[in-house]
């Protein structure tokens, strides 16, 4: 029996039922013109996956999404089957903790009839997934029949976590197989997660292994349809990478859609199998870079209130990478960059900042701040007291830069990007209300070593040093005082912080790994010198204890920072939920 399926990987906007409806109807029409039997859309694509509580508790919003489904999308299914994600609700019932009953749901329609509504059964409650908080779990697992030009196909519909049934007592895939479905269709809003250096452990590989394992277990072809674009939870901007796939019942990859872009492709099955396609190529740094580019572009477009993008450049590596990402995201027409030197910014770093601007052919403005710093210091000391700490004057420089750039952001109605990386944000090596200001933290989920890796990718991508070699080779410095350099061995500190944040390890865990020489050498890359040769056990123990303390002391800063684009397994924000009051010092 033949089944011709169209995979419609669309980029929905949270809350934009009208705009999402248009994309869905266009996808249905394209599938119809290609004589497909069935077209599949992502999870919650009618409403968008990332929704705030105002919308989830808004009766008018829920009713409108249901009205559009019943009055526009279902009637559009004449002559074709449709699987589409939406929000179902039961206004007549309430949850035990209060509030209406809501379901993360999928509708199956054909020939203008609503055949089935599937409610998501396995509800995640980890990372930034709050399905358990907002939705009621479904329990029905019933196949639905889709008429094709060649007969009838029995299919089962899964919603994201339903496919990841290991660890749950309720197993939708197993129940569908017991009822002898011919195909499983999984609709998803699965975020991008990058892999570690030198590894293939990103989310795309986890998905592929999971799907193949389920096929080995149940012998059923699986179509995996993922959303693309960004959503947010207020403190994290979450990239969804698309990369929808289809696998035959023999485990062969038979369909692969684009990564980080809308796409629609057709797969022609026959008895659960189809012609194999090539596995998509993998370049770790390229994937992470493109995830950040998509996040900036889609965030700018979807927020819809900005006319330009602003980036400050210092001649350092972080702002250079941020510039490259912003350039790729919005182009030179919408991007302006600024250099705001004080007396401590060297001629070399200023020259590198200018060279970066010239390489990308970007509008570039220099705004010297030393006179402003001197005036603020003078006024402070006149009205209060002589400044006691040199750090106060250092932070004044960063805060005056932030003040000027936020004024420019206001005056141009522009999105100001923030350039702090994960390592610096973790350790508080950023200035609150200074270099932390802005509307989006682009590289706040990248450890410092990855900033260098992605900068290297930028130059490979353009096949010339768009990021000047002098920036890559310079000793990192905030340049807020004379001869200042960053107080970190980033090649060690970066992975230590990532292990604390992303893996949940503590000082005792890392010390044990050090003693047993089990630290990941692809992460702790030290330019040819073994970490165990560079650090004694006592030195490493002292280092990780200090870093753990800095990590905990800096929470109050992080919670006031710009939303961070999440590309790792655990990002600061509402992914890693922290408290300011925390007396644990580790052991």
**Residue 587 pLDDT:** 65
DSSP run (H or E) holding 59: helix 59-68
Going by C-beta distance under 8 Å and a sequence separation of 6 or more, which residues neighbour residue 312?
319, 337, 338, 339, 340, 401, 405, 419, 435
Give the 3-state secondary structure of residue 420. coil
Supply 185's token pair. 């269709």
Question: Over 90: is that where the pLDDT of 121 sits?
Answer: yes
Quick one: which of 185, 190, 169 has its CA closest to 50?
A: 190
In whole angstroms, what is the distance from residue 238 CA to residue 291 CA?
Answer: 10
Name the β-bridge partners of 151. 148
- Res 550 pLDDT > 70: yes
Per-residue model confidence as pLDDT tens digits over 363-392: 999 999 999 999 999 999 999 999 999 999
Q: How far apart are CA 244 and CA 207, in angstroms?
A: 10
Using a pLDDT cut of 90, give the percent of the chain over it.
Answer: 92
CA atoms within 13 A on the CB side of 22: 4
Q: What is the pLDDT of residues 523-532, one digit of tens each?
A: 887 777 788 9
Give the ranges where 219-283 is alpha helix by DSSP (H).
none
Q: How far is CA 342 from CA 396, 398, 418, in A?
A: 11, 10, 19
Extract the tokens encoding 381.
């000391």
Res. 467: pLDDT tops 80: yes
What average pLDDT does range 91-108 have in this prediction? Answer: 80
Using the structure block, give the residue that is written with the tokens 């349809």. Answer: 225
CA distances to 186, 409, 414, 541, 585 from 307, rounded to whole Å, are 38, 10, 5, 49, 45
How does strand 151-159 pair with strand 245-247?
A: unpaired
User: CA-CA distance, 504 to 329, in Å (whole number)?
Assistant: 32
Element (H, E) at 310: strand 308-312
SS3 content of the chain, % helix, strand, coil (to 5): 40, 20, 40
The pLDDT value recorded for residue 26 is 98
pLDDT digits (tens, 9 = 90+) for 398-418: 999 999 999 999 999 999 999
User: Is the pLDDT reported for residue 235 higher than 90?
Assistant: yes
Q: Which of 237, 236, 281 is nearest to 258 (CA)?
A: 281
Token pair 């203008």 in the structure block, residue:
112
* pLDDT, averaged across the chain: 96
pLDDT, residue 94, reads 64
DSSP state of 138: P
Distance of CA 79 to the CA centre of its chain: 37
Residue 376 CA to residue 371 CA, distance in Å, equals 9
Q: What is the dihedral of CA 267, 268, 272, 276, to 10 degrees?
A: -60
pLDDT, average across residues 562-573: 96
- Read off the pTM: 0.96
Helices (H), 339-369: 347-360
Separation CA 474–CA 320 (nearest Å): 12
Instruction: Quote the CA–CA distance of 369 and 175 in Å, as a whole number.
Output: 67
> Residue 193 is encoded by which pair of tokens?
């997660």
Whole-angstrom CA distances from 264 to 42, 157, 257, 430 are: 12, 19, 7, 43
Name the DSSP letter for residue 191: B
Write down all domains in the chain, each with its CATH number in brackets. 2-271 (3.60.110.10), 284-486+554-587 (3.40.50.620), 489-553 (no CATH)
> What pLDDT is recorded for position 584?
84
CA–CA gap between residue 449 and residue 421 (Å, rounded): 10
Supply the pLDDT for residue 123: 97
From residue 41, alpha-carbon distances to 48, 49, 107, 514 in Å are 12, 13, 10, 47
Q: What is the pLDDT of residue 97?
A: 62
Question: What separation, in Å, do the N-terminal and C-terminal C-alpha atoms of the chain show?
Answer: 62
* pLDDT-derived band at 100, boundaries 50, 70, 90: confident
DSSP strand pairing (228-232 vs 564-565): unpaired
Identify the pLDDT of residue 522.
82
Q: Sheet harboring 38-40: ordered strands across?
A: 113-119, 100-110, 81-94, 38-40, 2-9, 263-270
* Strands lying side by side in the sheet with 183-188: 144-148, 151-159, 183-188, 221-226, 245-247, 253-256
Looking at residue 53, what is its pLDDT? Answer: 92
Contact (Cβ atoms closer than 8 angstroms) between residue 434 and residue 395: yes
Structure tokens, 7? 């995979």
Q: Is the pLDDT of residue 147 over 80?
A: yes
Q: How far apart are CA 439 and CA 419, in angstroms?
A: 11
Burial string for 560-585 (b: 16+ CB within 10 Å, else e) reads ebbbbbbbbbbbbbbbbebeeeeeee
The tens digit of pLDDT for each residue in 272-305 reads: 999 999 999 999 999 999 999 999 999 999 999 9
- pLDDT recorded at residue 98: 60
Cβ distance 13 to 58 under 8 Å? no
Q: What does DSSP say about strands 414-418 and 440-441: parallel, antiparallel, or unpaired?
A: parallel
106-120 average pLDDT score: 98
């Amino acid at each position: 029996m033949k089944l011709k399926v169209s995979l419609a990987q669309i980029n929905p906007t949270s809350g934009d039922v009208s705009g999402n409806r248009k994309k869905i109807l266009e996808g249905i029409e394209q599938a119809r013109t290609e004589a497909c039997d069935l077209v599949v859309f992502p999870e919650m694509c009618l409403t968008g996956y990332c929704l705030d509580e105002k919308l989830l508790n808004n009766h008018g919003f829920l009713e409108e999404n249901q009205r559009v489904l019943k009055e526009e999308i279902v009637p559009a299914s004449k002559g074709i089957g449709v699987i589409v994600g939406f929000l179902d609700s039961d206004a007549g019932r309430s949850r035990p903790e209060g509030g209406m009953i809501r379901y993360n749901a999928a509708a199956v329609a054909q020939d203008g009839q609503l055949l089935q509504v599937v409610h998501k059964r396995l509800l995640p409650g980890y990372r930034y997934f709050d399905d358990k908080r907002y939705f009621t779990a479904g329990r029905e697992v019933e196949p639905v029949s889709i008429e094709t030009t060649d007969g009838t196909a029995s299919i089962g519909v899964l919603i994201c976590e339903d496919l990841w049934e290991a660890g749950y007592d309720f197993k939708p895939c197993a129940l569908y197989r017991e009822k002898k479905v011919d195909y499983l269709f999984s609709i998803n809003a699965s975020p991008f997660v990058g892999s570690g250096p030198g590894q293939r452990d990103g989310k795309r590989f986890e998905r592929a292994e999971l799907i193949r394992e389920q096929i080995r277990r149940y012998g059923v072809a699986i179509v995996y349809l993922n959303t693309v674009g960004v959503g947010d939870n207020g403190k994290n901007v979450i990239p969804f990478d698309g990369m929808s796939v289809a696998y035959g019942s023999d485990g062969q990859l038979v369909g692969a859609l684009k990564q980080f872009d809308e796409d629609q492709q057709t797969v022609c099955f026959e008895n659960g199998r189809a012609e194999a396609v090539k596995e998509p190529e993998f370049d770790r740094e390229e994937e992470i870079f493109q995830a950040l580019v998509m996040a900036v572009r889609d965030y700018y477009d979807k927020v819809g209130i900005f006319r330009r993008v602003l980036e400050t450049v210092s001649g350092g590596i972080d702002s250079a990478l941020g510039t490259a990402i912003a350039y790729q995201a919005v182009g030179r027409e919408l991007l302006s960059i600024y250099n705001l030197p004080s007396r401590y910014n060297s001629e070399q770093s200023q020259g590198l900042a200018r060279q970066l601007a010239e390489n990308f052919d970007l509008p570039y403005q220099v705004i010297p701040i030393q006179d402003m710093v001197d005036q603020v210091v003078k006024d402070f000391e006149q009205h209060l007291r002589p400044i006691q700490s040199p750090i106060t004057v250092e932070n004044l420089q960063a805060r005056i830069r932030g003040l000027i750039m936020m004024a420019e952001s206001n005056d141009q109605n522009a999105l100001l990007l923030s350039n702090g990386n994960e390592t610096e944000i973790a350790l508080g090596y950023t200035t609150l209300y200074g270099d932390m200001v802005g509307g989006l933290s682009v590289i706040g989920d990248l450890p410092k070593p990855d900033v260098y890796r992605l900068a290297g990718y930028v130059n490979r991508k353009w096949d010339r040093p768009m990021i000047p070699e002098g920036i890559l080779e310079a000793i990192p410095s905030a340049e807020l005082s004379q001869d200042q350099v960053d107080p970190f061995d980033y090649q060690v500190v970066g992975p230590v912080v990532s292990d604390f944040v992303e893996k949940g390890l503590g000082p005792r865990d890392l010390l044990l790994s050090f003693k047993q020489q089990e630290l990941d050498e692809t992460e702790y890359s030290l330019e040819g010198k073994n970490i165990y040769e560079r650090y004694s056990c006592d030195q490493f123990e002292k280092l990780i204890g200090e870093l753990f303390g800095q990590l905990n002391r800096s929470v109050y800063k992080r919670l006031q920072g710009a939303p961070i684009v999440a590309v790792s397994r655990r990002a600061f924000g509402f992914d890693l939920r922290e408290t300011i009051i925390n007396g644990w010092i580790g052991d």
